Amino acid sequence: MTRFEGPVVLQNQHLFATDWMAHTEEDLGPLIAAADITEEQDGFVAQVIGTSAALRYAAMPEVFTSLMNAAATELTVTTPYYVPDEPIQAALCAAARRGVRVTMTVPARNDSWIVAGASRSYYEELLEAGVRLFEYPHGLLHTKALTLDGRMTMIGSANLDRRSFDLNFENNILLSDEAFTAEIRARQQSYLDASDEVTLEAVRAWPWHRRLWHNALAMIGPVL
């Protein structure tokens, strides 16, 4: 859990209010107008990123893709659901191919067998590109976190799947701070240390009917 103070709270409040008013007849405009949060002097830069079916589709995935494309040395991703659009899959692969240490952790057992199968259809391409892929075996790992080059972090509710980008009401926070990023990266490492690495050899050894099943599920990825 993370506690934020300062101006970024106003952004979160505005996002909540707009989502609330979209589904009720209650006007929270006066609440937003009356909000007064003193700007912190020793904080860091942070930005709220919201997404829903009522907002421009590309906002959230564009941020994910931009961060992946900006990675210079290390990119570490933790997500419970991985059913990406093409730009995100391409950005992860491209980062690994240009020498960035790209690591992703997903749960070994998902609460949706359909999503789990679709996710595994992307494994071979990721591994061929040089992405290190780990499966967390101790329950449904639900953390959604991305750390970049030891200096930037994005955390929140959005998964790396099209449902988060197209339909769900999601709220992420992007921030730039080395100390905070080090804490999140340490938490990600605790997941990695407890996980099993997936190898390219193991994926290529899957029977043909399993690979066919994964690929068939990926075809319905946009509605998962």
With tokens 């197209």, the residue in question is: 166
159 within domain boundaries: no
Q: What is the pLDDT of residue 121?
A: 87
43 within domain boundaries: no
28 within domain boundaries: no
Torsion of CA 177, 180, 182, 187, to 10 degrees: -140
Cα gap 112→23, rounded to integer Å: 28
Strands 145-148, 160-161: pairing kind: unpaired
Domain at 113, CATH number: 3.30.870.10
What's the structural domain count of the chain?
1
162 within domain boundaries: no
Query: Could you tell me which residues come within 8 angstroms of residue 218 by beta carbon, excluding any fewer than 6 positions away?
Result: 83, 117, 118, 121, 122
24 within domain boundaries: no
Q: What is the pLDDT of residue 106?
A: 96
Cα gap 82→23, rounded to integer Å: 29
Residue 133, domain extent: 58-151+178-223
pTM of the model: 0.88
Each residue's pLDDT, cut to its tens digit, for the chain (224 residues) gives 788 888 888 888 888 888 888 888 888 888 888 877 776 678 899 999 888 766 666 778 889 999 999 999 999 999 999 999 889 999 999 999 999 999 999 999 887 777 877 888 899 999 999 999 999 999 899 999 999 999 999 999 988 887 777 777 888 999 999 999 999 999 999 999 999 999 999 998 888 877 777 777 777 766 65
37 within domain boundaries: no
Cα gap 85→96, rounded to integer Å: 18
Q: What is the pLDDT of residue 132?
A: 97
Going by C-alpha positions, the residue among 140, 117, 133 that lies closest to residue 196 is 133
Cα gap 166→222, rounded to integer Å: 9
Cα gap 216→201, rounded to integer Å: 22
41 within domain boundaries: no
110 within domain boundaries: yes
